[in-house]
Chain A
Amino acid sequence: MGSQSILRFIPVLAALVLLPGEAWTEAGGPPEAEVKAEFLERFTRFIDWPQGGFKNPEAPFALCLLGRTPLEPYLARMARTRRIKDRSIQVRTLAGPGEVEGCSLVWISPEAAGSLEQVLERTAGKAILTVGDTEGLAARGAHINLKREGTRLTFDINVAQAKRSGLRFSSQLLQLGNLVGGEAPP
């Protein structure tokens, strides 16, 4: 189809466009880290945090990064230009799982995937979204795990975990992702 005309627009529309990775590499499109950063922001649009999830109405939306990650510069740029849930964005790099308190979203990089259990322990019962991009992370208890299916970037959603955390996942998001964790969406 008209991929030429579509590709012409890509530099201008980088903020919105998420095309299969092969197309990006061929055309010198945005790196995968940028796409994943965008995905993080999109997830927040289809997930509602409970009223008590933030300390006060002015409290920022804290994007916490566990482990070193190439997403960091893109998220930092996003924090300067955009808002999530009508709040300012605060990107925080965590030294370890013990610092998850006060985070709204925790990005678990592949090198920190081993400490998932500790993170889950700290975030249990709290409205903290856990996202990563390590194979099987969602099945192990993270809310969402990004993964590549052929040319598409998709994600797994652990529904049971989502329910437990008090976060409300939009049915649209549930429809889009692969559901894991053995429980059907409500």
Chain B
Amino acid sequence: MRPWETLSLRSKLTVLLFIGLLVPMGTGLGIVAARDIRAFREDLISTTSLAAAVASEYSAAALAFQDEVAARQTLARLSSLPELELAEIQDTQGRLLASYLRPGVSEGVPLPVLPLEGRWVRLDDEHLNVVQPVIHGGVRYGSLRLQTSTVTLQARINAYLLGILLVAVGVAGLALGMAFLLQRLITRRILALAEVARVVAEKGDYSVRARKVSDDELGFLADAFNTMLVEVERRQREAQEAIRVREEFLSIASHELRTPLTPLKLEVQSLTRAAARGTLSDQGTGLLQRDLGLISKQLRRLETLIYNLLDVSRITSGKLQLDLEEVDLAALMREAVQRLSEECRAVGSVISLDAEQPVVGRWDPARLDQVLSNLLSNALKYGAGGPIEVAVGEREGTAWLKVTDHGVGIAVEDQARIFDRFERAVSVRHYGGLGLGLYIAQSIVISHGGHIWVESQRGAGATFIVELPVEGPPWERISTGR
């Protein structure tokens, strides 16, 4: 099997076609030849035998009266028999009464001792011999022997053999030609595919495409190949994009992490210097408190950044755990607004809270607080100092909250993107932050079985809406049997 497997596709096709064509044609021709040769041979035998039988009828009287002349006349009539080489009339004792020898024929082939009864026929390579007993009225007078040449028979056999050889040669040529055409039809297209695969493998160029020329299996192969290339290209692009986003994030993260460090370092340095000079107590309690307040503010900022990063890693690894308990969303919102009152004053925004009724549900209060803080921080950050409206309510088992600002707004095409990791609708230059806030908020809301979305237009402010099932996340309800 090894040599066969090492053959090229074209050679295999040629061999298969050759066999496939030669076997039926050769068999057919062989059968025809065998039948024809047999028929010709039988024809020769029967013609010669008939001539012998007829001549023997006319030889009886000649033998009976030992009439040489009449016997010779009988034999002379046989000379018209084609292929006749020799004719002899013998009496029962084997004595020759008359003989005919075609000019150019030397002598008859020696025959074995013949049985007395019946006609005797022998066909060898070059001669046919028929010995016909001469019988009249039940009396045997002798025998008539005819010898004919089988050269024409041999010639016919040779012609057939030559024909078979020619057919084999013709079939070989035909097989080569058909294999060439089939190869053009099949292997050329496979080779084209292979070429595309080679370009992809060697150059890593996924933009090349296999050319589809037909709707058959090869066309299907080309389609499948192209689909694979598209998929590979898309994944490669995504991977490159992910790397780019991560690198950008790292640069932003390092910048963001450094930002609180500088004032922190300055405060600590000035306090250290004051301590060294021994003037620390001279600064007064108010100033010292102010400095320490600044330090702790920067530390909180750092803490928030680090927690956010930890949250992202938890979310992406699927390890965000919820500690569910009865929570009043309105109270949580009030606390969050309270906590940001200082920042509000700093940017000049006014937060109006509409949360008259308590909205109680089964949630993780710490995580929900993160969501509220993020939304409020964003509203302050992008609200351009405008008023901020916050509302909390409940409708048919679903708690909802809205945070509306009147700032730069978000273009419609960016609205889906802002919930992704490391994304923001505006440039990093103008607004700091890691771009993680909305991603974390969305992840928390979704893990509670809720939705978050934004309604906004560029320049017309934005409203972030959150909906949460008061019963808590549905899958938690099932797992706790509630």
Contacting residues, chain B, for A16 (C-beta < 8 A): 91-93
B34 close to A (CB within 8 Å): no
A184 close to B (CB within 8 Å): no
Chain B positions 189-222 with a Cβ under 8 Å from a chain A Cβ: none
B79 close to A (CB within 8 Å): no
A42 and B96 CA atoms in complex are apart in Å by 20
- A42 contact from B58, B64, B70, Cβ within 8 A: B64
* CB-based contact B64/A1 at 8 Å: no
- B57 contact from A13, A172, A176, Cβ within 8 A: A172
Contacting residues, chain B, for A25 (C-beta < 8 A): none
CB-defined interface of B135-178 with A at 8 Å, one 1/0 digit per residue?
A: 01101000000000000000000000000000000000000000
Q: Known contacts being A45-B136, A175-B70, is A9 close to B62, with CB within 8 Å?
A: no
CB-defined interface of A158-181 with B at 8 Å, one 1/0 digit per residue?
A: 000000000000101101100000
Contacting residues, chain A, for B91 (C-beta < 8 A): 16
Q: Known contacts being A6-B95, A16-B91, A45-B136, is A176 close to B62, with CB within 8 Å?
A: yes
CB-defined interface of B85-98 with A at 8 Å, one 1/0 digit per residue?
A: 00000011101100
Secondary structure type dominating chain B contacts:
mixed
Q: How many residues of A contact B (CB 8 A)?
A: 21
Contacting residues, chain B, for A49 (C-beta < 8 A): none
CB-defined interface of A23-38 with B at 8 Å, one 1/0 digit per residue?
A: 0000000000000000
* CB-based contact B64/A46 at 8 Å: yes
* CB-based contact B139/A45 at 8 Å: yes
Contacting residues, chain A, for B326 (C-beta < 8 A): none
A18 close to B (CB within 8 Å): yes
- B58 contact from A5, A154, A172, Cβ within 8 A: A172
Interface residues of B (CB under 8 A from A): 57-58, 60-62, 64-70, 91-93, 95-96, 136-137, 139
A152 and B95 CA atoms in complex are apart in Å by 18
A154 and B62 CA atoms in complex are apart in Å by 11
- B67 contact from A2, A6, A152, A170, Cβ within 8 A: A152
Apart from A42-B64, A45-B136, A176-B67: 8 A-B pairs, beta carbons within 8 A: A1-B96, A5-B95, A18-B65, A46-B136, A152-B67, A172-B60, A172-B62, A175-B70
A176 and B64 CA atoms in complex are apart in Å by 10
Q: Known contacts being A1-B96, A16-B92, is A46 close to B66, with CB within 8 Å?
A: no
A139 close to B (CB within 8 Å): no
9 shortest A-B CB distances, which residue pairs? Answer: A172-B61, A18-B66, A176-B61, A42-B64, A176-B70, A6-B95, A173-B61, A45-B137, A176-B67
* CB-based contact B61/A46 at 8 Å: yes
Contacting residues, chain A, for B65 (C-beta < 8 A): 18, 39, 42, 176
- A175 contact from B61, B64, B66, Cβ within 8 A: B61
A17 and B95 CA atoms in complex are apart in Å by 11
A9 and B93 CA atoms in complex are apart in Å by 9
A19 close to B (CB within 8 Å): yes
- B95 contact from A9, A18, A175, Cβ within 8 A: A9
Q: What are 7 A-B interface contacts by the 8 Å CB criterion?
A: A5-B95, A9-B93, A13-B93, A16-B91, A45-B139, A152-B67, A154-B67
Closest to A45 in B: B137
* CB-based contact A19/B66 at 8 Å: yes
Q: Known contacts being A45-B64, A173-B61, A176-B62, is A152 close to B69, with CB within 8 Å?
A: yes
A6 and B96 CA atoms in complex are apart in Å by 9
Contacting residues, chain B, for A18 (C-beta < 8 A): 65-66
Contacting residues, chain A, for B60 (C-beta < 8 A): 46, 172
Contacting residues, chain A, for B95 (C-beta < 8 A): 5-6, 9
- A172 contact from B66, B68, B92, B136, Cβ within 8 A: B136
Closest to B68 in A: A152
Contacting residues, chain A, for B68 (C-beta < 8 A): 152
Contacting residues, chain A, for B57 (C-beta < 8 A): 172
Chain A positions 125-182 with a Cβ under 8 Å from a chain B Cβ: 152, 154, 170, 172-173, 175-176
Closest to A155 in B: B65
